[in-house]
Chain A
């Protein structure tokens, strides 16, 4: 068999195609075209060598074919396509991990309401107070007063521009009551993630207070929330 003639033909074509990554696919295509033509010639009763010659003649001039294929398989477009595909895959995988992990933390982290033992709760108020500072939205969700005179304030906040990558909310403000008491000692905790869930605990909150007041007044940003408490020790 004079397959070397076919191989030489294909080699000449491929030598004109500068984008090397496409050469294998072009080789397979040319092989396929050649095989189809070769078997067609054979089916007409020609000899193997004649079929080879006729098939190669029918394929055309390998230099011209190579030049045309080189225009179609532009190396610039080719390499740009490969590079952008790789970058795209890397960034998609990274995004899934980066945002997915934050989303999972936000979804599954607890804001602590259920960590307060039920038999220690004197009062649990579900509230729906929402405020906005710059791009941050803070939503106050629960107030719990327990038998140890601790007031627990639960909230969620998110930054609509930075989605968890900016500074955390340092302080929700001054906590006071309608009797003029201000509360500072206690503790706080928060989860990270796209939506931050926070718990602020204040010790020795007066059982005689009928209002919980949260006042934020920093750097020309201001809000005040007044929450009626009813009878705390009912």
Chain B
């Protein structure tokens, strides 16, 4: 076999092998592809991506799916690719409450995310033992806040305020 034919044969074999191995190693070319495959694998979704937070080594997808909200993660792998992260499935939105939220925490970082059901709420406050965080940026009707490091189990009261600064609703998780 001449060299050109050998090269073509090799390229054809690689064109078959590489996607198969990508699949076997759980590698994806984009973070969103990993997110979609992760949802389908765990039998959730497909969710609507409302917002993506990019932290370089991972991306977090703030999503809605029917009556659930979620914040899934895709992680960088081998520098160029992406793999499944954690927290694929969501929580059910309790529409009778002014807002629904949940938190996810590790020793590396933590996230609080939720959805506003009461349209008058324009600001969310997180009341920690020694700090207050104000969230006034919303992604459609969803909010998201991330902290780095462990928060030593100091999970905050979550308050919703209207434009007049009046407390609409307070929830302690």
Contact = CB atoms under 8 A, between A and B. Distances in A.
Contacts of A91: 14, 17-18, 21
B172 interface: no
A126 interface: no
**Interface size range of chain B in the complex:** 20 to 34
Given A77-B4, A80-B7, A167 B41 contact: yes
Contacts of A74: 3
B155 interface: no
B7 A218 contact: no
B7 A159 contact: no
A134 B25 CA distance: 21
Nearest to A76: B7
Residue in A88, A165, A219 whose Cβ sees the most chain B Cβ within 10 Å = A219
Interface residues of A, number: 32
A181 interface: no
Contacts of B88: 167
A165 B7 contact: no
A81 B7 CA distance: 5
Interface stretch (A40-48, A49-57, A92-100, A203-211): A92-100
Interface of A: 73-74, 77-78, 80-81, 84-85, 87-88, 91-92, 94-95, 98-99, 133-136, 159, 161-163, 165-167, 170, 218-221
Interface of B: 3-4, 6-7, 10-11, 13-14, 17-18, 20-21, 23-26, 37-38, 40-45, 65-66, 68, 84, 88-89
12 contacts: A77-B4, A88-B10, A91-B14, A133-B43, A161-B37, A165-B24, A165-B26, A166-B38, A167-B38, A170-B42, A219-B45, A220-B66
